[in-house]
């Protein structure tokens, strides 16, 4: 475990050998471990405990609480690692603690005998995974020169859809809840520890000039949308589109069980096929879309079209039960392809658009922290909105139609987010 003393921390003249492959594998491993529960593992585990009828409510509570933990931890974790003075380095202690804790509690959720213990386990898994995520993300600035960070960010960005894809495939072939939680977590443990121990971490030898207070943390993640309307619209657009994008992913397995009578094994197998189609489309279109956007010098059109296509794909999935079982399942796969294409267009330019709309070029880190809430809020709000409010209410109003109502509502969010991007004036 090599370390280099620095005060203050600065980027190196070149990227250390081995950093990019190990950090990319580590990111993939952590995403794989944490996505395995969220893309199907939890919904199946909860079905086994409480049955299909109660599963939406319980899944909404479990997912919402654990995501809320992430929302609180994220602003703190990166700043704590920035200020860490340890002979083992600034990031390594947080990586080690975060990865080990994440794995222990993900496995705990896989064997928890009741919903309260699953809530506790997944909340602690979320807490520790965000410690690891924050430290891992910070190593990009520590280890990679500024002019090389675009390619490195692209590699790390690819780890997210790959984590979802491999997680859904593993869920479909592993036979028990324990294995569905434990095997992805074990892979994440191995890949994360390899990165942790080969990282040439930096050691802070000087104390920070200012103490970190709760008020300072809270104020640093506040902005005035009246003074910076473009950033406010970009933030709102991102959050609304992501609510639409995540609607099907979070509830597809339960939808398949309720609307098409699939057992949990069939749900996971179909879920894997759907994710292969959606993520394959996303990855291809996002690469092409990014280059085309650069050539045209336009970003808003890609976000607008991408958001509208996500909404269209979600509506297609919502209408699937009305055309029968065989036709409906085919319609879901068509909807997933449309969602993937729309998400590819959206993700190809959304981050660049948001950065272009940042209100203060001298305070980018703070504003990116604000922006990150638009990424994390949907995963907190959506489970509560879907499982606690919309799906139960939809089932009362339209017996058996709760999931269709939820998909229509989330599609409306995506449309609103797509239209909101047109209010941005400083970006083409």
pLDDT at 217: 64
Outline which parts of the chain fall under CATH 1.20.1250.20.
Answer: 1-220, 223-428
pLDDT at 288: 84
Query: How far apart are alpha carbons 425 and 422 in whole angstroms?
Result: 8
How does DSSP assign 328-359, residue by residue? HHHHHHHHHHHHHHHHHHHHHHHHHHHHHT-S
pLDDT at 355: 67
The two three-digit tokens of residue 70, written as one number: 């992430």
Q: Could you say which residues of the chain have pLDDT below 50? A: 1-9, 362
Query: How far apart are alpha carbons 19 and 200 in whole angstroms?
Result: 8
Residues 6+ apart with CB under 8 A from 179: none
Which one is the CATH code of 1-220: 1.20.1250.20, 3.40.50.300, 1.10.3720.10, 3.40.50.1820?
1.20.1250.20
pLDDT at 292: 81
| pLDDT tens digits for range 41-96 | 999 999 999 999 999 999 999 988 998 888 778 767 766 766 666 777 778 889 99
Query: How far apart are alpha carbons 406 and 318 in whole angstroms?
Result: 8
H-type alpha helices, 261-401: 264-296, 300-318, 325-356, 364-383, 391-397
pLDDT at 215: 66
Query: Does the global pTM surpass 0.85?
Result: no
Nearest to 184 by CA among 129, 146, 262: 129
The two three-digit tokens of residue 386, written as one number: 């879907």
Q: Is the CATH number 1.20.120.610 carried by domain 223-428?
A: no
pLDDT at 1: 46
pLDDT at 6: 42
| pLDDT tens digits for range 145-167 | 766 665 676 677 778 889 999 99
Reduced to 3 states (helix: H, G, I; strand: E, B; else coil), residue 297 is: coil
């Amino acid at each position: 475990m090599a370390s280099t003393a620095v005060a203050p921390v600065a980027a190196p003249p070149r990227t250390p050998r081995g950093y990019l492959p190990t950090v990319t594998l580590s990111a993939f491993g952590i995403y794989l471990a944490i996505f395995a529960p969220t893309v199907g593992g939890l919904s199946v585990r909860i079905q086994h405990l409480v049955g299909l009828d109660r599963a939406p409510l319980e899944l909404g509570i479990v997912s919402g609480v654990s995501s809320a933990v992430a929302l609180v931890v994220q602003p703190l974790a990166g700043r704590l690692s920035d200020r860490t003075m340890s002979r083992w380095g600034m990031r390594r202690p947080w990586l080690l603690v975060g990865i080990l804790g994440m794995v222990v509690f993900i496995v705990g959720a896989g064997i928890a005998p009741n919903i309260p213990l699953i809530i506790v386990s997944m909340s602690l898994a979320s807490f520790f995974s965000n410690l690891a995520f924050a430290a891992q993300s910070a190593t990009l600035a520590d280890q990679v020169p500024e002019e090389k960070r675009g390619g490195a960010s692209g590699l790390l960005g690819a780890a997210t859809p790959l984590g979802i894809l491999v997680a859904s495939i593993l869920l479909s072939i592993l036979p028990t809840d324990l294995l569905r939680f434990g095997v992805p977590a074990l892979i994440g443990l191995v890949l994360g520890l390899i990165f942790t121990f080969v990282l040439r971490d930096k050691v802070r030898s000087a104390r920070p000039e200012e103490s970190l207070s709760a008020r300072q943390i809270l104020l640093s993640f506040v902005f005035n949308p009246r003074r910076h309307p473009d950033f406010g619209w970009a933030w709102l657009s991102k959050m609304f589109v992501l609510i639409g994008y995540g609607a099907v992913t979070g509830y597809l397995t339960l939808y398949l069980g309720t609307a098409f009578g699939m057992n949990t094994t069939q749900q996971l197998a179909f879920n894997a096929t759907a994710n292969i189609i959606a993520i394959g489309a996303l990855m291809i279109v996002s690469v092409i879309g990014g280059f085309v956007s650069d050539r045209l010098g336009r970003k808003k059109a890609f976000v607008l079209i991408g958001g509208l296509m996500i909404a269209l794909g979600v509506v297609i999935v919502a209408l699937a039960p009305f055309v029968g079982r065989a036709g409906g399942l085919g319609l879901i796969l068509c909807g997933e392809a449309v969602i993937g294409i729309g998400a590819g267009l959206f993700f190809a330019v959304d981050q660049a658009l948001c950065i272009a709309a940042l209100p203060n070029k001298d305070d980018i880190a703070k504003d990116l922290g604000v922006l990150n809430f638009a990424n994390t809020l949907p995963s907190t709000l959506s489970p509560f909105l879907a499982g606690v409010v919309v799906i139960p209410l939809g089932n009362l109003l339209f017996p058996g139609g709760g999931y269709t109502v939820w998909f229509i509502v989330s599609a409306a969010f995506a449309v609103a987010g797509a239209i909101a991007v047109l209010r941005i004036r400083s970006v083409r």
